[in-house]
Amino acid sequence: MNSIWSSLAVTLAVQVLAALVLYVPPVLAPAAQAQVGVHASAVGVVTALIFAAATFAALRSGPAIARHGALRTSQLSLLLCAAGLAVMTSANAVLIVLGALIIGLGYGLVTPSSSSILADRAPQRLRAFIFSLKQTGVPIGGALAGAILPALVAVYGWRWAALSACAACVVLTVGLEPLRPGMESERVAGHTARPSVRSALRMLLRHRRLWELSVAAFMFAGMQNCLASYLVIYLHERIGFGLAAAGLALSTAMAAGIAGRILWGIVADRWHARPLLGWLGISMSAAAALTATITPHWPTAAVIVVSLFFGATAVGWNGVFLAEVAHIVPAREAGAATGASLAMTYAGVVILPLLFLLIVRVSDSYAAAYCASGALTLWGSAPLLKRSTPLRV
């Protein structure tokens, strides 16, 4: 089970199911709101809680991987996601908050553990492509949630739809157990050091290249969530699109993100990941500016093209980023470095959409919010285009 393609299949499966759980609350919120007693729009708070907990878990991922192994940590992440979602089916507001935090603890472990597995096996010439292909699991999980869960709700109700996602996580967890002897690397299995949260933060703060990547990822992840969270509302409420047309624009952006993750991974392996990330940041800033200029007079086709450009850049960068993090640190540090960087990424997912919403409330302008978000991603991109000395850890 040491093959890179077998390892990719396993890590992709874990990523898909973890992302599926992540998208269950927003997909099922309209169906569950009557029993929960809270309007479906409050699901934004649930998402913020999930990523706040994921930020903490990502910082703790290095010690968890060193102690238990990367695949065991992946199994733990699936069980936590399943447990948190099961708690949320209680329809009790307090328990929903608790469930969101438990899901976040699981979700924050997924990417560091998979990066640790792939960093041991991915050949240098295919590293960015492999990491990017694995990261397609996030939009794939979201697409599966949108396609399967509503059908289950119609037949069995929202609780059983959510519990089916829990069951899938448990089944995969059990199915991975026979693979552990072949997949846990000797490096992890024989590692006795116990890296701490403090050491992960020191790694982030002491090394300029890792810090610059993490700051850029903070901005990029925030922009990605602003696209996912507000595009449909913006097009429907301010531009006058019907819900179907606005939903099509978002679906186009997500599909472009899947294709972009694969495409940019191939490009990074043949060029350089760091400057590519810089140009992707500039491009998503341009896409945000274009989105801000949309008016009710624009043809639908033009809006779809802008959405495609927006998704390919703002959703497509993740795999290249993770591959570059794994590249600039020794393989034994990949899990801890990824966790530290992802803590910044998840913080961006929480903070920037809240800033976006604040700008909308103050200015009554989505265009101003998109322009401000674009300015931040532009600022975060600039250091990635500069030449820098190799990282030493």
Contact call for residues 266 and 341 (beta carbons, < 8 A): no
Whether residue 64 lies inside any domain: the answer is: yes
Neighbours of 379 (CB within 10 A): 14
Residues 312 and 236 in one domain: yes
Structural tokens at position 138: 């996030």
By C-alpha distance, which of 14, 161, 3 is closest to 89? Answer: 161
pLDDT score at 245: 82
Rounded distance between C-alpha atoms, residue 215 and residue 29, angstroms: 32
Name the domain count of the chain: 2
* One domain, residues 146 and 210: no
Amino acid (1-letter code) at residue 35: Q
Contact 141, 19 (CB under 8 A): yes
My answer on whether 167 and 212 are in the same domain is: no
CA 172 vs. chain centroid, Å, equals 20
Domain boundary among 147, 182, 217: 182
Q: How far apart are CA 350 and CA 225, in angstroms?
A: 8
Given this model, what pLDDT does residue 325 score?
83
User: Other C-beta atoms within 10 Å of 285: how many?
Assistant: 25
As given in the structure block, the two tokens for residue 122 are: 């991915």
Whether 270 maps to a domain, the answer reads yes
- Specify the DSSP class assigned to residue 389: P
Instruction: Looking at the structure, tell me whether residues 137 and 59 fall in a common domain.
Output: yes
End position of a domain, from candidates 156, 182, 208:
182
Q: Is 78 among the domain residues?
A: yes
Whether 185 contacts 105, CB under 8 Å:
no
Task: Pick the last residue of a domain from 123, 148, 182.
Answer: 182
Residue 356 and residue 369: Cα distance in Å, rounded? 5
Residue 91 lies inside a defined structural domain of this protein: yes
In a domain, 191, yes or no: no
**CB-based contacts of 305: which residues, under 8 Å, 6+ apart?**
none
Provide the residue range defining the domain that includes 12.
Answer: 1-182
Residue 393: inside a domain, yes or no? Answer: no
158 and 252 together in one domain: no
Regarding whether 175 and 253 lie in a shared domain, the answer is no
> Is residue 130 included in any domain, yes or no?
yes
> In this structure, what CATH number is given to the domain that contains residue 220?
1.20.1250.20
pLDDT, position 392 = 39
Does the predicted model carry a pTM greater than 0.95? no
Two tokens, residue 168: 């899938």
146 and 218, same domain (yes or no): no
Q: Are residues 208 and 246 in the same domain?
A: yes
The 3-state DSSP class for residue 102 equals: helix
Query: SS3 string of 245-312?
Result: HHHHHHHHHHHHHHHHHHHHHHHHHHCCHHHHHHHHHHHHHHHHHHHHCCCCCCCHHHHHHHHHHHHH
pLDDT averaged per 10 residues, the chain (length 393): 78 92 82 79 77 85 81 94 96 92 94 81 78 82 79 88 95 92 58 54 76 92 86 84 79 86 87 90 96 94 94 89 78 70 84 87 90 95 72 39
Same domain, residue pair 168 and 272 = no
Residue 351 lies in a domain: yes
